[in-house]
Structures are given as C-alpha cells and as structure tokens.
Amino acid sequence: MSVLSESYARALAGEALSFREAAALWHEAPLAELMAAADDVRRRLHPGDTVTWQIDRNVNITNVCVSGCKFCNFHCRLADRERAYVTSMEEYRRKIREMLDLGGEQLLLQGGLHPRLDLKWYEELFRQLKSEFPNVKLHALGPPEIAHIARISGFTADAEGYRTVLERLQKVGLDSLPGAGAEILDNDIRKRISPGKCSADTWLEVMRTAHRMGLCTSATMMYGHVERPEHRILHLLKIRDLQSLRPEGTPGFLAFIAWPYQGRGTALEREERLPGGADTAEFLRMIALSRLVLNNVPNIQASWLTTGIAAGQMALHGGANDMGSIMIEENVVSSTGFEGRTTIDAERMQEAIRAAGFTPALRNQRYELL
Ligand code: SF4
C-alpha cells in the first residue's frame, strides 16, 4: 500500500494522521483523490445527504481596535473621531429585530479590541441584551478579545484570568465562544500579520479554559498569506491536540472553518505584496485535508464567504458537511477591496445546497437540527 492509500485508510478508520502523513497528502495527493477520501470520512461521520446551515447575525461591537491586523481595513484608532463607533443599544435592538424577522436566533458579536471597554462594560452589554431578548443566543467575542478584556480589566494573563472573564460573561449570557482570531497558530506568523493580537499559545489557552468550562466553541484558520503549507498542517494538529484534551462529555470545538485571506487594499498587500485571493483548488484541498486530519472535530464548514458559493458547493463533495450562516451582515472581509458577495438570503442558501445534491437542514450553534 502506498503512503497515501495508507493515510486514506487510517483517516477513514478515524485514526490520527501524523504530520508526515498530512504533509504527504497536501503535497502529493491528486485533488480528486483527496476529496474522495475526505468525502468518505464525511459520510462515515454524517451519513446521508443532509447539509446543515444557520441563520445568525454578525454585529461588530465596535470598530475601535488596538490589534492592528494588517489584513483588516475595518478597524480604526480611538482617536479617529470620524470613523470610531461603539454599537448603541438602539442599533442592537434594530438589528436583532431584523434577524428575528428572518428566523435567526443568534448574534455573532465580535470586537475590535477597544482599549477602554473592560469586563464590567461587557457584562452590562450582555445583561441588557439578554434581559430584552432572552431567547437570542450570544455567540460572542473570541480568544483575542477574552485575553484583551482580561488584560485591561486587571486579571492575570493565564488560565485563571481567562476563566474569571469567561465565567462572569457566561453568567450574564455568553452562550458560546467563536474561534475567531486564530489566523495561523504560529507566533512568528502572527507577529507579521496581526502584531497586536494574542499569541498562538494564548489563543489555545483561552480555548482550553473554555473547553474545561464546557463551553461550546469552534476553530478557524485564515490561510494564504505569509505562511507555508507546513504552518497550516501544524495549525490543524494543534487544534486536534487541544480537542483531545477536552473533558469527557463536553463539546470542545464543534466545527472547523478555514478560509483564504483576502487582502486587497490592506496593509498586508502594501507591505508584503500579498493581494490574497481565492484559489478554488487550494481551498478544496484545504477543506479535504482538514476533514482527514481533524478526526475528533465533528463538523467541517464550507466557508464560502471569500471563495464564493460555487466553491462552497464543491467543498460539500470533499469533506464539508455544513454551509455556515447566511451572514446577514459582515464587515471585515467586505471592508477590503473584495468584490464577491459576502451575504446571501435563506432561500438562496437552500437552493445552493440542493443544487449541490444535498438536502438543506437549518441548525443552531450546537449543530442541533431545528
Ligand atoms: S481583524 Fe479584528 S482584531 Fe484584527 S484589527 Fe480588525 S477588528 Fe481588530
């Protein structure tokens, strides 16, 4: 048996592939073969033809951010009086009502890393949102924001500090933690692309803490900038290793979501001449490899936001079992020069899933069918 066939067989049996095996698959496997193997694994984990999707609304709490990610045109400094904003309660009410009218039940709340909004401020925000909309789920913040809030609120930069922040937020309504800000889990890469964001170790420590508390989370990867394929593989292995440490009976990472970097008009394009862009074949290879390597993460999302819906449909035949959210609002990708469509409606999402040969099923954040 060749190394590749042996790796396919081991992945299909649910075994954990080594770095060497994953690297061989990335560099040597023909794409069609890799996708077919990932499709076999997907069928074992998710028999049948159901593809899940979700309705939620992405709201940015503020665009003020000290992180200075070089791929982001959305953020600004606190002193930028023309652009800086913090979303008001009135705006939340309007956006939540719009989402409820469309059948959504979850807010994806994300930063920037505002230098003055501390834990007490977030507690008040969550308390207020839950008191007015008790049934709306808060899928909120992410490891860089938790680490940032801990720091500016005077807590220690360790598991104890992160646990304090997460527990207090959970008490006032935090339902789940998105895997935002993972980019590539390598400290040198992170210094180049997002110098003010938490380190890879901190990202993993916050997630480890969340998993110990039983919080449901996801993991992400933004690839296609300054990293090499080896960094992507190590990133997958770090996610898999952390997932294997979650306490029994807890969900840990429910899903993995990877997307290619889009850099038009960003500092990363100017400084490193990296315009980014969606290479569909590379995206499909990434999705398939993720399905084969992440043997303990149940769901792989076909993140179509930067690749287009057609690439997402193809990914459903190569390891992905979920199409993510209809994205009622999206700000970070659409603030670059990206010209693709970053939102679609529920009808079009279901049509796309059907056209790809599957049956759409609406789900919640816990991947329970609605
Ligand atoms: S991507 Fe997020 S964390 Fe990075 S600069 Fe933009 S708003 Fe801040």
pLDDT of residue 304: 87
Q: Tell me which residue has its CA closest to atom 2 in ligand 1.
A: 112
- Asked if residue 370 is part of any domain, the answer here is no
pLDDT of residue 365: 86
pLDDT of residue 341: 52
pLDDT of residue 296: 98
Is 71 among the annotated ligand-binding positions? yes
* CATH code where residue 217 lies: 3.20.20.70
Name the domain count of the chain: 1
- Asked if residue 5 is part of any domain, the answer here is no
Ligand 1 atom nearest to 71, measured from its CA: 1
pLDDT of residue 277: 76
- Asked if residue 126 is part of any domain, the answer here is yes
Q: Enumerate residue ranges in the chain where pLDDT < 70.
A: 327-343
pLDDT tens figures, 228-259: 999 999 999 999 999 999 999 999 999 999 99
pTM of the complete model beyond 0.85: yes
Is 72 among the annotated ligand-binding positions? yes
Tell which one of 64, 76, 332 to mutate to probe ligand 1, the residue whose CB is within 8 A of the most ligand atoms. Answer: 332
Which residues does a 6 A CB cutoff place in the pocket of ligand 1?
65, 67-69, 72, 74-75, 111-113, 144, 194, 197, 332
| CA–centroid distance, residue 238 to ligand 1 (Å) | 23
- Asked if residue 44 is part of any domain, the answer here is yes
Tell which one of 194, 199, 333 to mutate to probe ligand 1, the residue whose CB is within 8 A of the most ligand atoms. Answer: 194
pLDDT of residue 161: 97
Is 131 among the annotated ligand-binding positions? no
Ligand 1 atom nearest to 197, measured from its CA: 3
Per-residue three-class SS string for the chain: CCHHHHHHHHHHCCCCCCHHHHHHHHHHCCHHHHHHHHHHHHHHHCCCCEEEEECEEEEECECECCCCCCCCCCCECCCCCCCCCECCHHHHHHHHHHHHHCCCCEEEEECCCCCCCCHHHHHHHHHHHHHHCCCCEEEECCHHHHHHHHHHCCCCCCHHHHHHHHHHHHHCCEEEECCCCCCCCCHHHHHHHCCCCCCHHHHHHHHHHHHHCCCEEEEEEEECCCCCHHHHHHHHHHHHHHHHCCCCCCCCEEEEEEEECECCCCHHHHHHCCCECCCHHHHHHHHHHHHHHCCCCCEEECCCCCCCHHHHHHHCCCCCCEEEECCCCCCCHHHCCCCCCCCCCHHHHHHHHHHCCCEEEEECCCCCEC
- Asked if residue 250 is part of any domain, the answer here is yes
Question: Which residue segment(s) compose the domain that 214 sits in?
Answer: 21-362
Is 199 among the annotated ligand-binding positions? no
Is 183 among the annotated ligand-binding positions? yes
pLDDT of residue 241: 98
- Asked if residue 15 is part of any domain, the answer here is no
